[in-house]
């Protein structure tokens, strides 16, 4: 366990240096970027060590793993972010521990999360996941909402009880015109965020960038970078 803590500390220090470097290059303040550590596939004991090392934001992508992990770590001062594809029948479970859901991409999910949050007496932060993996920007993406549908989905979130519109999120796509161009993807996300903030100024979170590309996300204005393997190591299984 001491070895694992030292390993995580060293990895965190390297990631911190990369974030600080990217902020410096972009002329941004380090405090403007929050590191969200993606702990999927890693045990609750790692989450505990990360909390001891000062991490305050963690993310998971599957409810069946996240729910028991969050319960095992309920004593820790952590913000939990849900970043995976979400089925409406998991909304109740996810709202019981997640402070933010980054992967909201359709009206039915807004309805389900709203009902669940109201029932739990909680307020859940919602980020709209913008999909760039369609054949074109106007084609339906496989994951996320089309850029053109962001305003309507945003209105639905602001009208829903129990939810607070917090911002936008994306994952750099593997297919479509943006494939292999994370910088361009993140700059487009920033434009979409700018539009959104003109109507909803408080929806100022921009969640973008993973281990391989978070410098480009910081350069493009990301406020939250989601970093897994660069902190925890290679994942034991696909997740």
Ligand X SMILES: *Cc1c(COP(=O)(O)O)cnc(C)c1O
In this chain, which of 45, 85, 93, 211 binds ligand X, going by CB under 6 A? 211
Q: How far apart are CA 128 and CA 57, in angstroms?
A: 19
Nearest Cα residue to 169 out of 210, 120, 139, 201: 210
Straight-line distance from the first to the last Cα atom of the chain, in angstroms, rounded to the nearest whole number:
23
Shorter beta-carbon distance to ligand X: residue 65 or 149: 65
Shorter beta-carbon distance to ligand X: residue 29 or 238: 238
222 binds ligand X (CB under 6 A): no
- Contact segment (CB under 6 A) with ligand X among 65-73, 150-158, 192-200, 208-216 equals 208-216
Q: Give SS3 for 164.
A: strand
Shorter beta-carbon distance to ligand X: residue 199 or 235: 235
User: How many residues comprise the chain?
Assistant: 239
69 binds ligand X (CB under 6 A): no
Within 10 angstroms of residue 226's Cβ, the number of other Cβ atoms is 25
Q: How far is the CB of 201 from ligand X (least distance, A)?
A: 26
Chain centroid to Cα 235, Å, comes to 18
In this chain, which of 168, 171, 205, 220 binds ligand X, going by CB under 6 A? 171
Shorter beta-carbon distance to ligand X: residue 5 or 62: 62
Q: How far apart are CA 130 and CA 146, in angstroms?
A: 6
Q: How far apart are CA 31 and CA 190, in angstroms?
A: 18
Q: How far apart are CA 132 and CA 147, in angstroms?
A: 8
**20 to 59: interface string for ligand X, x by CB under 6 A:** ------------------x-x-------------------
CA distances from 28 to 119, 201, 203 (A): 40, 20, 19
What is the phi-psi region of residue 55: left when phi exceeds 0, alpha when psi lies from -120 to 50, beta otherwise? beta
224 binds ligand X (CB under 6 A): no
**123 to 152: interface string for ligand X, x by CB under 6 A:** ------------------------------
Shorter beta-carbon distance to ligand X: residue 147 or 228: 228
Q: How far is the CB of 159 from ligand X (least distance, A)?
A: 26
Shorter beta-carbon distance to ligand X: residue 147 or 209: 209
By CB under 6 A, the residues from 74 to 93 that bind ligand X are 83
Shorter beta-carbon distance to ligand X: residue 47 or 83: 83
SS3 percent helix, strand, coil of the chain, rounded to 5, is 45, 15, 35
Binding site for ligand X (CB under 6 A): 38, 40, 61, 83, 171, 210-212, 226-230
């Amino acid at each position: 366990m001491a070895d694992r803590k030292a390993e995580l500390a060293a990895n965190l220090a390297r990631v911190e240096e990369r974030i600080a470097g990217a902020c410096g290059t972009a002329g941004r303040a380090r405090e403007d970027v929050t590191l969200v550590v993606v702990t999927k596939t890693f045990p609750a004991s790692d989450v505990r060590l990360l909390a001891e090392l000062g991490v305050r934001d963690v993310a998971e992508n599957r409810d069946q793993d996240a729910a028991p992990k969050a319960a095992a770590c309920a004593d820790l001062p952590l913000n939990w972010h849900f970043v995976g594809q979400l089925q409406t029948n998991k909304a109740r479970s996810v709202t019981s521990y997640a402070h933010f859901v980054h992967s909201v991409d359709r009206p039915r999910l807004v309805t389900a999360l709203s009902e669940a949050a109201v029932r739990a007496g909680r307020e859940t932060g919602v980020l709209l996941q913008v999909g760039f993996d369609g054949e074109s920007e106007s084609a339906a993406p496989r994951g996320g909402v089309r850029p053109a549908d962001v305003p309507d989905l945003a209105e639905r979130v602001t009208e829903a009880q129990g939810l607070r519109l917090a911002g936008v999120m994306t994952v750099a796509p593997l297919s479509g015109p943006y494939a292999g161009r994370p910088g361009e993807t993140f700059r487009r996300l920033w434009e979409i965020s700018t539009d959104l903030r003109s109507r909803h100024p408080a929806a100022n979170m921009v969640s973008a960038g993973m281990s391989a590309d978070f410098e480009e996300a910081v350069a493009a204005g990301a406020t939250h970078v989601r970093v897994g393997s660069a902190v925890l190591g290679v994942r034991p299984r696909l997740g």
